[in-house]
């Protein structure tokens, strides 16, 4: 008791900022309890926030794994990661429509997702229940294509710069991001494309105090697929030799090298895994939203960074949990703030984490 008292006193003196932030967090939680108890905050809406937060959080977590791995192994913040998400999403959806609309519409119009004005994608009626094969094929192609793009970019851009500083690589990755994003615009046009019609999608309405809460089939698909992919990654990391090598590299690069781990092979695998999961995240995000736009991944990127920093750079499991936390924060914060500030709240959390616990909650690889 006395010991914890001393420790607490020391914490207050040494890190007053942290204490203030913690107190503020506790205060907000108490306020939330009060709001729910007094009926000021409807339970249905709160459950909706939590569910939406989980859905977007899984996308962020899935995409964050690759960012976290490359950040720790190659030691740079990859600003092009968001656009890998976009490329995966577009290529995957082009595949889905090519399969689902086969025979009913012109191939070119389908692959361009209606950017040519030839066909309205919503009229094809793609949903996970009516055209499951097309959706699964799209997801697989999105994963493979994004992995291939990530690998090609590493070969052309990042590999010749292995010895460059982290900042040089960061700037180069901004160049990659620009080139990728506008290559997507060049092919698919800058205006967003609608993919699925909300009325086609199976959904369940659950009555709760203060309203009702809707569970959509595509949201459930996203959650299931994301969890499956994460479980698959877990198996890969824990039970294969390359997975162990990857974890070793992320943990301590020099030590890994001394023990004879083939560095370049592990780096290639990292790009494949990270890029592939990012592509899958892009596909699933577009599935859940029912639309896709060229800045899909770029807008997610800062949230992904927030998740990775929250979870601890280099920690795969940290990225997953960090993604969920960031997703939930960006939605539950809407209890207090207007809807357009959800992302701002998530960025604020990231800045606070950087200030008070730069190694992240999971204490990944210390990089500060």
Binding site for other proteins (CB under 8 A): 31, 76-77, 108-109, 111-112, 115-118, 157, 160-161, 164, 166-172, 174-183, 185-190, 302, 305-306, 309, 338, 340-341, 343-344, 347-348, 350-351, 354-355, 358, 367-368
* Residue showing tokens 């097309």: 134
Distance of alpha carbon 39 from alpha carbon 33, whole angstroms: 10
Compute the least distance from the CB of residue 245 to other proteins, in Å: 25
Compute the least distance from the CB of residue 199 to other proteins, in Å: 27
* Residue number with CB closer to other proteins (84 or 280): 84
DSSP 3-state assignment of 167? helix
Phi-psi region of 210 (alpha: psi -120 to 50; beta: other; left: phi over 0): left
Q: Which long-range contacts (CB under 8 A, 24 or more apart) does 160-167 make?
A: 162/74, 166/75, 166/76, 166/77, 167/76
* Residue number with CB closer to other proteins (157 or 335): 157
- Cβ atoms within 10 Å of 175's Cβ, excluding its own: 12
**Do residues 326 and 341 touch, judged by C-beta distance below 8 A?**
no
Phi-psi region of 255 (alpha: psi -120 to 50; beta: other; left: phi over 0): alpha
Compute the least distance from the CB of residue 306 to other proteins, in Å: 8
- Cβ atoms within 10 Å of 360's Cβ, excluding its own: 27
Compute the least distance from the CB of residue 3 to other proteins, in Å: 29
* Residue number with CB closer to other proteins (257 or 357): 357
Compute the least distance from the CB of residue 299 to other proteins, in Å: 9
DSSP 3-state assignment of 203? strand
Task: Report CA 224 to chain centroid distance, whole Å.
Answer: 15
Query: Could you tell me the two tokens for 255?
Result: 């030590």
Query: Could you tell me the two tokens for 234?
Result: 């877990």
* Residue number with CB closer to other proteins (180 or 325): 180
* Residue number with CB closer to other proteins (186 or 238): 186
Q: C-alpha dihedral over 28, 30, 31, 34, to 10 degrees?
A: 160
The three-point CA angle 349-350-353 to 5° equals 85
Compute the least distance from the CB of residue 298 to other proteins, in Å: 8
Compute the least distance from the CB of residue 290 to other proteins, in Å: 22
* Residue number with CB closer to other proteins (174 or 236): 174
* Residue number with CB closer to other proteins (2 or 340): 340
* Residue number with CB closer to other proteins (222 or 345): 345
Compute the least distance from the CB of residue 197 to other proteins, in Å: 22
């Amino acid at each position: 008791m006395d010991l914890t008292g001393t420790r607490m006193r020391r914490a207050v003196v040494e890190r007053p900022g942290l204490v203030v932030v913690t107190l503020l967090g506790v205060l907000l939680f108490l306020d939330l309890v009060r709001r729910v108890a007094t009926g000021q905050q409807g339970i249905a809406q709160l459950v909706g926030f939590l569910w939406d937060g989980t859905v977007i959080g899984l996308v962020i977590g899935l995409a964050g794994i690759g960012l976290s791995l490359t950040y720790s192994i190659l030691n740079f913040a990859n600003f092009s990661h968001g656009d890998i998400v976009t490329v995966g999403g577009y290529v995957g959806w082009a595949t889905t429509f090519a399969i689902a609309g086969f025979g009913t519409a012109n191939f070119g119009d389908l692959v361009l997702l209606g950017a040519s004005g030839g066909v309205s994608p919503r009229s094809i009626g793609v949903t996970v229940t009516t055209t499951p094969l097309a959706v699964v094929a799209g997801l697989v192609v999105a994963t493979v294509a994004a992995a291939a793009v990530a690998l090609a970019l590493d070969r052309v851009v990042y590999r010749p710069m292995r010895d460059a500083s982290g900042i040089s690589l960061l700037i180069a990755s901004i160049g990659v991001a620009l080139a990728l994003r506008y290559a997507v615009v060049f092919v698919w046009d800058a205006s967003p494309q609608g993919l699925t019609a909300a009325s086609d999608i199976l959904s369940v309405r659950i009555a709760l105090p203060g309203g009702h809460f809707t569970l959509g089939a595509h949201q459930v698909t996203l959650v299931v697929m994301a969890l499956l992919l994460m479980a698959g990654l877990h198996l890969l990391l824990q039970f294969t030799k390359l997975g162990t090598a990857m974890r070793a590299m992320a943990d301590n690069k020099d030590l890994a090298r001394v023990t004879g781990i083939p560095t370049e092979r592990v780096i290639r695998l990292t790009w494949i895994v990270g890029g592939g999961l990012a592509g899958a995240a892009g596909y699933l995000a577009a599935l859940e939203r029912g639309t896709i736009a060229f800045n899909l991944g770029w807008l997610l990127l800062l949230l992904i960074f927030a998740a990775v920093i929250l979870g601890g750079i280099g920690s795969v499991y940290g990225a997953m949990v960090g993604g969920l936390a960031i997703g939930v924060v960006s939605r539950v914060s809407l209890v207090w703030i207007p809807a357009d500030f959800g992302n701002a709240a998530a960025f604020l959390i990231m800045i606070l984490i950087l200030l008070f616990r730069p190694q992240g909650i999971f204490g990944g690889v210390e990089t500060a």
